[in-house]
Amino acid sequence: MTNQHVNSQINRDSTFDHFSQQVITTLQADIEQLLTHAALPSPLNEACFYAMTGAGKKVRPLLVASAYHSVLSSSTDSDDSATTIRLNDSCRRAMLAVELLHTYSLIHDDLPCMDDDDLRRGRPTCHIEFGEATALLAGDVLQTLAFEALSADLAGFEPISDTHAAKLIRAFAPRARRMVSGQMLDLNAEDKQVTQDELEAIHRDKTGALIEASALMGGVCADATQEQLQALRLFASSLGLAFQVQDDILDVTSDTDVLGKPTGSDEGLNKSTYVKLMGVESATDYAKSLFDDATTSIDQQFGNHTALNTLADWLWDRKK
């Protein structure tokens, strides 16, 4: 699998489905190989496979791939939307890391001591299926595997240099910490009336930090310039906030069958949300303005026909 690549052709007039399916297929193969070689004891092994192989949007790995694609395409004379690229082993490692860390956060977020949810991605949550102790350990080990994915010798991957691994971890580790800090701030805000600035501070960490890490690592994998990395950071900052506002809207406008998780759970926990703060209509307008900010932030470095633009459009249209 060392030379496994994804040939990706994104046309700005087509849907994101073709590109995303190729990326997800590669990611799923890498996940299965990583977990198989980890040789975890039962039932921890089964719990990790269960959590990592369920249906999901895979937004963060797709953002890694889209940032990588956009940086590489910016160094050629061809139109990004019609450029065929390959995802190198470094990019595959980054995709693995963000999905591992994200899944760990979901497992822990669903626990009775947190949000106490029993449905995730259309099926029972990890602790419902395997028990709380195993779910807790599954989250723990997925977090450690995320850092292994960025630094260790892995079957099916070319060795990664210490220098390159350090660059990826430098983009990843502090934002993993911010994600956990954001979860704490979110718990602290339950049963309280918070301002928009306070709510944004929560979600720039809880949701936005890992989205920011995904974009930056995709850039690092493509040897992005400092100017390009800054554009990617700004793009991801707006995108992450837009994604959270959209989640809050879907929590009250969608239904459980479509969303794959219980709707109305934020209200049940008396969480602070953008819908509660500004209403559905104003929250929708705000989300759209954030998506616009995201795409505007990359115009100068990458143009407006990039994989990143296509990803933003795809996310704006999502129903779950």
Q: What are the tens digits of pLDDT across the range 71-109?
A: 998 876 545 443 456 789 999 999 999 999 999 999 999
CA distance 113 to 187: 10
Q: Among 81, 83, 117, 109, which residue's Cα sits nearest to residue 304?
A: 81
Mean pLDDT of 109-132: 94
Lowest mean pLDDT among 143-152, 228-237, 273-282: 273-282
Asked if residue 130 lies in contact with residue 138, where contact means CB atoms within 8 angstroms, the answer is yes
Q: Does residue 317 or residue 181 have the better pLDDT?
A: 181
Mean pLDDT of 22-26: 91
Beta strands (DSSP E) in 1-155 are 119-120, 123-124
- Rounding to the nearest 10 degrees, give the CA dihedral for residues 241, 64, 227, 297: -40
**Phi-psi bin for 40: left (phi > 0), alpha (psi -120 to 50), beta?**
beta
CA distance 167 to 171: 7
CA distance 120 to 296: 33
Query: Residue 269: what pLDDT?
Result: 61
- The answer to whether the Cα torsion of 141, 146, 149, 153 is positive or negative is negative
Q: Among 252, 256, 238, which residue's Cα sits nearest to residue 280?
A: 252
Asked if residue 249 lies in contact with residue 275, where contact means CB atoms within 8 angstroms, the answer is yes
**pLDDT per residue as tens digits for the range 285-307:** 999 999 999 999 999 898 877 88
Mean pLDDT of 6-14: 47
Q: Give the pTM.
A: 0.90
For residue 61, cis peptide bond before it (omega within 30 degrees of 0): no
Query: Residue 39: what pLDDT?
Result: 95
CATH code of the region 17-316: 1.10.600.10
Residue 258 pLDDT grade (very low, low, confident, very high; cuts 50, 70, 90): low
Query: Residue 156: what pLDDT?
Result: 87
DSSP state of 85: B
**pLDDT per residue as tens digits for the range 127-182:** 999 999 999 999 999 999 999 999 999 988 999 999 999 999 999 999 999 999 99
The rounded Cα 242 to chain-centroid distance in angstroms is 13
Q: Among 132, 119, 122, which residue's Cα sits nearest to residue 43?
A: 132
Q: Does residue 2 or residue 152 have the better pLDDT?
A: 152
Q: Among 159, 145, 150, 148, which residue's Cα sits nearest to residue 64?
A: 150
